[in-house]
Structure 1
Amino acid sequence: MKKIVLFGPVLSKLKNAYGGGTGGYTRNMSVYLNHFRSDDFTIVPCFHTVRGQFDFGPFTAPVRFAKDISAFVASLVTTRPDGVHILAQYRGAIPREFAVVLLSRLVGKPVLYEIKAGAFMQWYGSTNPLSRRLTDFCLKSSKVVLAEGNVYLDFVKETFGKEAQYFPNFIPTEEIPDEVSEKLRDDELKVLFVGYCFKDKGVYEVVSGCEAAARQGTRISLTIIGKEHDDFTKWMDAKAEQPNLRIQRLGLQPHKEVLRHFRLNDVFCYPTSHKGEGHNNSINEALMMGLVIVTTDKGFLGDILSDESAYFLKEVSTEEVGEAIRAIDGQREAAAEKSRNGRKLFQEKFTSDVAFKKLNRCYHELVRRPSRARAEG
């Protein structure tokens, strides 16, 4: 059986890390390690550090770089892999990824570079010349390139001369329930937000939009799950209770508990304006559990969802969120139809049964040696 080293984030809850160390990259790493099964390949993890994990003052960045590259070298020596799979974060991580690709190339290990999140094109166009050169090397030196968004395929071809393959985010089939509870059955509308509670994720507008809808008579229960930014905590702590609206803030929760709340709620409200928004886990989980989705078209969301499967906001504002909540409450059958369409979309495209078949094919492509005729040509 051939071995693939998976270079990705450490699997830990870290108080000072972005999102508490439980964000999308970490979840992706966990899913690969715990659920990928193949008769041909085994995945061996090589964990790198994450932002906020250490604090060495002005020396934090070089210390992290040294630790990460040392860990990768040790993995090459002990594992002797047939290929390397990088969960690419680019941006501030590009020097580390350049070093990993360079070392892999020096020892003859082919690289699969998987572009995650939704900020790659915008970042590449605005970053400094050195970072662009490092990125050029990473992409051009990789044998296989995967992209989480369809919109990246043409960009990667035109910019780097590489044929990228679409590889959307997914959920392990083992976690998918055969059936989901009917939504919108109670008088009270149960609204859920899951994510890092800071401005760019739209959580302020979720709260204020629910407040606006409640003032117009909609009965709402709002549940907020995720690490809170200090500014959001102060803002929420200063709020007074209001009629027709109950709010519970649960902070970080174990994944099983998060899924339980997806089952219990009707609406997933995620009005993100985050520049790096990709195909996040929470959108998949909302689709999987049959929730009515209220979101924006930022990042990959407009490519994943449509008006048949979600309510799109024209802008991230209190008024837009409030109107969407009121529309769902007033036209519940139409909202339920969107939720059914969303779950069907998820089952057809975003499960590990679908994803891992493709990943297995990509690993075969990664380790395949060129034929003698092609090599000589």
Structure 2
Amino acid sequence: MTSNKQNRTVLFYAPIGNLTKGFKNGGAEAGCRKTMEVLRKEGYNVILLEKPTRISDSKLDGFKFIFTLANVYFRTIGLLRAHREGVFHVAGFYLNQVYFEWLLIQTARLMSVKSIYEIRNGGMIEAYKQGGSFYKWFMKGILTGASTVLCQGYEYVLFLKSEFGKSGVYYPNYIMDNFVQSNSDDRSDDAVIRIVYFGRVVPDKNVEFIIAVCKQLAIRNKDFTMAIIGGYEQQYYDFLQQQILSNGLDSERFVFHGRREFSEIVPHLRKSHFFIFPSKEKREGHSNSLTEAMGCGVVPIVSTAGFNESIAGSSDFVVNEFNADLYAEKVLRIWDTGNWKSRSDEVHRRVVQNYTESVVKTSLLGAYADLLGRSAKNELTLSR
């Protein structure tokens, strides 16, 4: 007879940041760490299989990557044999990972181990539709072969149902309960518009575009400050400084804080008014930064990348094109009409209702309970 301890074992194939130090350790790693934390809080024995990362295009790194993948696979087989009554949880990134992820899911299936495939990041639907028949066959094998599919974006739930007739479980990124506070800090009387960006300071996040938005505010004689928080490479930092000067902006309005622990970022968020997030990253998913900013009552002005629009919850916060003037207009339409406080309360409330640990974990734990035969699955729906 299988022991209860075995029954609560999770083999977790995911990146959590051990292999990617520094500013490249981003939202995917943070999300996976949160999943581990929730499962362990509930008494699950989580055994980590760290997803290897290829750091460069060199042949040597390529050989190391393949060797590491092989080691992970053979270790996985051993663990699947030892924990047949547990759950094999794969954090999926498809694209060039699809063949190895297919192998993992199909191996678990052959060994009669229940599996969860968690679709992380954005761009899965586009990757599937644009992929050839070979790629689609492997992707379909993953999505239909897994016992349960967790979907970071609600769009994925709808896609699974329409394309494969399979029910997905909505499992968005979220903030931990100990982070949640009331939105009592009233910043609406401030004369200065306080703008913040935090996250990876890299070209794909389009940080230089935020400087162009600030220029439009300066043209309109608006007083503002801009805080940029996150790790960066010196070359990109120098480029951003050059953009500030070439746009004729006062460099003292811009403060680069570098990489900071989240506990150090929170005080900046709680005194900021707008989080400008014009990401153009092709695989933008559910941005942790966006959720965390909204959770502090910071009003977002975002691009349509990833799941930004469904997270923000209102077209008033979304700009469909990379036009700095349109971003500035969104900011001023809220600021000049005196609606900032009500919109701040709105986005804070949206996070509390949809994107906190206590809300979202019901979806995750329900999926596990359903697989292990202890209760019916509890699916999360998106509150509007």
What is the TM-score of this pair, normalised by structure 1? 0.87
Offset at residue 265 of structure 1 (A): 1.6
Offset at residue 7 of structure 1 (A): 1.4
* Equivalent in the alignment of 1:221: 225
Q: 2:265 aligns with which of 258, 281, 306?
A: 258
State the AA in 2 paired with 1:319: D
Offset at residue 58 of structure 1 (A): 4.2
State the AA in 1 paired with 2:120: K
* Equivalent in the alignment of 1:272: 279
Q: Kindly report which structure 2 residues correspond to 1:139-218, keeping only aligned pairs within 5 A, or say none.
A: 139-218=143-222
* Equivalent in the alignment of 1:7: 13
Q: 1:211–1:245: 8 Å Cα contact kept in structure 2?
A: no
Q: 1:288–1:346: 8 Å Cα contact kept in structure 2?
A: yes
SS at match of 1:11: coil
Distance in 1 between residues matched to 2:216 and 2:158, nearest whole Å:
42
Q: 2:90–2:116: 8 Å Cα contact kept in structure 1?
A: yes
State the AA in 2 paired with 1:46: L
Q: 1:215–1:244: 8 Å Cα contact kept in structure 2?
A: no
Distance in 2 between residues matched to 1:92 and 1:27, nearest whole Å:
22
Q: 2:16–2:30: 8 Å Cα contact kept in structure 1?
A: no
Offset at residue 66 of structure 1 (A): 2.0
Distance in 2 between residues matched to 1:154 and 1:288, nearest whole Å:
26
Runs of 4+ in 1 over 4 A off after TM superposition: 37-40, 77-81
Identity %: 20
State the AA in 1 paired with 2:373: R
Offset at residue 171 of structure 1 (A): 1.2
The question of 1:23 aligning with 2:29 is answered: no
Q: Kindly report which structure 2 residues correspond to 1:296-311, keeping only aligned pairs within 5 A, or say none.
A: 296-307=303-314, 311=317
SS at match of 1:185: coil
Q: 2:54–2:65: 8 Å Cα contact kept in structure 1?
A: no
Q: Kindly report which structure 2 residues correspond to 1:37-186, keeping only aligned pairs within 5 A, or say none.
A: 41-52=44-55, 56-76=60-80, 82-186=86-190
Distance in 1 between residues matched to 2:298 and 2:38, nearest whole Å:
25
Distance in 1 between residues matched to 2:265 and 2:324, nearest whole Å:
25
- Taking a change above 3 Å as real, the CA distance of residues 285 and 10 of structure 1, as seen in their structure-2 partners, is closer
The question of 1:335 aligning with 2:346 is answered: no
The question of 1:246 aligning with 2:253 is answered: yes
Distance in 2 between residues matched to 1:273 and 1:90, nearest whole Å:
20
* Equivalent in the alignment of 1:344: 349
Offset at residue 74 of structure 1 (A): 4.7
Unaligned runs of at least 5 residues, structure 2 = 375-384
- Taking a change above 3 Å as real, the CA distance of residues 346 and 43 of structure 1, as seen in their structure-2 partners, is same
RMSD: 2.6
Distance in 2 between residues matched to 1:121 and 1:107, nearest whole Å:
29
Aligned residues: 364
Distance in 2 between residues matched to 1:58 and 1:359, nearest whole Å:
34
SS at match of 2:225: strand
Q: 1:289–1:343: 8 Å Cα contact kept in structure 2?
A: yes
Distance in 1 between residues matched to 2:118 and 2:146, nearest whole Å:
10
Distance in 2 between residues matched to 1:76 and 1:256, nearest whole Å:
38
The question of 1:285 aligning with 2:285 is answered: no
SS at match of 2:339: helix
Q: 1:201–1:271: 8 Å Cα contact kept in structure 2?
A: yes
Q: 1:170–1:351: 8 Å Cα contact kept in structure 2?
A: yes
Distance in 2 between residues matched to 1:336 and 1:179, nearest whole Å:
10
Q: 2:157–2:170: 8 Å Cα contact kept in structure 1?
A: yes
Q: 1:90–1:120: 8 Å Cα contact kept in structure 2?
A: yes
Distance in 2 between residues matched to 1:172 and 1:286, nearest whole Å:
13
- Taking a change above 3 Å as real, the CA distance of residues 228 and 364 of structure 1, as seen in their structure-2 partners, is same
Unaligned runs of at least 5 residues, structure 1 = 370-377
* Equivalent in the alignment of 2:372: 367
Q: 1:315 aligns with which of 316, 321, 342?
A: 321
Q: 1:218–1:326: 8 Å Cα contact kept in structure 2?
A: no
SS at match of 1:196: coil
State the AA in 1 paired with 2:324: T
SS at match of 2:253: strand
- The C-alpha deviation readout for 1:35-86, integer Å capped at 9, x for no partner, is 3356564433221122428962442542342243244335435655611111
Q: 2:295–2:348: 8 Å Cα contact kept in structure 1?
A: yes
